[in-house]
Structure 1
Amino acid sequence: MDKLTLLGLLVAIVGILSGQILEGSNLSVLFQGSAFLIVFCGTLGAVMVQSSAKVFLTAIKMGAWAFSTPKSAGPDLILQLTSWGTLARKEGMLALEARIPGIADPFMKKGVQLLVDGHSAEKIRDVLETDIQSWEQLRWQSARVWEAAAGYSPTVGIIGAVLGLMHVMQNLSEPSKLGSGIAVAFVATIYGVAFANLLFLPVANKLKAIIMQQTHMRDMVIDGLGAIANGENPRYIELKLQSYLN
């Protein structure tokens, strides 16, 4: 669980609600089911229209990364690659074939299979870099879905406010209710701006940072596999890959 994400949301929400109380306003006015429904469903529909099904579903799954960030396995990867390098130098590349079934990551499994098949470091790099580009493209597009939601949300909030004002205008015969009615109408705008700037945009930026980190680790794997293919000393491989963690 990413405690900083939860703490950030808590600080933002508490700050806004506290400010509302200090202004002498009633907190209940901020909780409007109809305004929430307009903003949430309107924003959701807009991003669904602009996205393919694969990108949209990937974006939903990736949203969990903001609250449970995938751990960096850098040290474990270095240890694994170094051990493979040692095994390959002692017993040859074919000795790695027995390790392939136990590799969970498809990206690493493909790289080791290329090693076993006797491909050069250049060919391994060529194949795996193409794999990275495809992996990265899907996830960048998915992160942009959250970014797009941050763009649509305030506009949908304005739509909700206008709908609320239309309802107020239909009840001009009761002047005593106009003030509270207008306040409720603008809650949709608050929801739209708050969702955009406190949730959607921060999540999009955090997802981009995670994608960059994971791409960095995949680059490290390519360098490690390339060094094994070239028959480099395992100690050299370890020292080289340690640079990625710095």
Structure 2
Amino acid sequence: MDQTTSWGILAALAALIGGFLWEGGHWEGLIEKTALLIVFGGTFAAVAVSYPASRLRQIPESLKTVFRPAAPDVPARIDELVELATIARREGVLALENKIADHPDAFIRNGLQIVVDGTDPELSRQILEFEIDAVEQRMENQSKIFESAGGYAPTMGIIGTVMGLIHVLSNLADPGSLGPAIAVAFTATLYGVASANILYLPVASKIRIRAADSVQFMEMMLEGILAIQAGENPALVRKKLTAFMHTEEMSFARKKEESEDGTETEQTQTKRA
């Protein structure tokens, strides 16, 4: 589970509620059922009108991406692609056919199948790039849903406040109750602005970040698959794929390369002796 997303939302809520209570506010002043219904119900309804049901059904997948992302093991994937490059270089690409059926990653599975089928390298690149573009577009569509909710929520808050003020102004017989009633009316604005800036817009931003990471990871696998198809040297394949890694992952890869180089040197010296 992504701790930063959960802790970030909790920290924002704690800061807002803590500041309100610090100034002498009371819990009761933040809980208004009518405002909750207007803001969150109205926001959901507006989003439902804006997008087809097929996209709305992707919301659970979007939230899973935000809170529980499938973090790829980049060094392990590079090791695997290098191993496949070694097999293809020694035995030919047809030797990879046994690796296709049981592979857990659909992108690599499709890519290896294209390679084994003898597809033209340029056409192979185009097919795999279409898959990457499809993933990027799907995640972009998911982020737009929450971005739209972030735009509707403050407006729904204002609508709730105006409706509350209409109710207040229609009952002026008791001037002493005007202050508390107006405060309750403005609770809807608080709900709308807070939900947009704490929940909807940050979630949309996080989905876009996840999309960028996924695209980068798939582009790395694309280059690895094409290098396997071209029969490139496994050592060069590793160096090429390492360029896609983040800084902390690159240090691990360099250590691995150094250890492998050291092992190869020892084996060479042993053979010479």
Q: Normalised by the shorter chain, which TM-score bucket?
A: over 0.9
Alignment of 1:1-246 (within 5 A): 1-246=1-246
Opposite residue 70 of structure 1, the aligned amino acid is A
State the Cα distance separating 1:69 from its structure 2 match: 2.7
State the Cα distance separating 1:55 from its structure 2 match: 2.1
| Cross-structure match for 2:252 | none
Q: Considering only aligned residues, what root-mean-square deviation do their CA atoms show, in Å?
A: 1.4
1:105, 1:80 → 2: CA distance? 12
Which portions of structure 1, spanning 4 or more consecutive aligned residues, are displaced by more than 3 angstroms?
none
Counting matched residue pairs gives 246
1:177, 1:127 → 2: CA distance? 68
| Cross-structure match for 2:270 | none
State the Cα distance separating 1:179 from its structure 2 match: 1.1
The two structures have a TM-score, normalised by structure 2, of: 0.86
2:200, 2:134 → 1: CA distance? 24
The share of aligned pairs that are identical, in percent, is 40
Q: Name which of structure 1's ranges 221-230 and 120-129 shifts more when overlaid on structure 2.
A: 120-129
1:33, 1:185 → 2: CA distance? 11
1:184, 1:112 → 2: CA distance? 62
Opposite residue 35 of structure 1, the aligned amino acid is A
String of CA shifts for 1:37-63, please: whole Å, max 9, x gaps. 111111111111111222222234212
Opposite residue 78 of structure 1, the aligned amino acid is I
Secondary structure of 1:135 counterpart:
helix
* Residues 58, 139 of structure 1: 8 Å contact kept: no
The two structures have a TM-score, normalised by structure 1, of: 0.95
String of CA shifts for 1:161-194, please: whole Å, max 9, x gaps. 1111122223222222221111111101000000
Opposite residue 157 of structure 2, the aligned amino acid is G
User: Which of the two has higher C-alpha Rg?
Assistant: 2
2:6, 2:106 → 1: CA distance? 32
1:64, 1:192 → 2: CA distance? 24
1:60, 1:143 → 2: CA distance? 12
1:205, 1:172 → 2: CA distance? 45
Q: Name which of structure 1's ranges 142-151 and 163-172 shifts more when overlaid on structure 2.
A: 163-172
Secondary structure of 1:119 counterpart:
coil
Gaps (5+ residues) in structure 1? none
Gaps (5+ residues) in structure 2? 247-273
1:124, 1:53 → 2: CA distance? 33
1:188, 1:141 → 2: CA distance? 28
State the Cα distance separating 1:235 from its structure 2 match: 1.3
State the Cα distance separating 1:141 from its structure 2 match: 1.2
Q: Name which of structure 1's ranges 30-39 and 187-196 shifts more when overlaid on structure 2.
A: 30-39
State the Cα distance separating 1:93 from its structure 2 match: 1.1
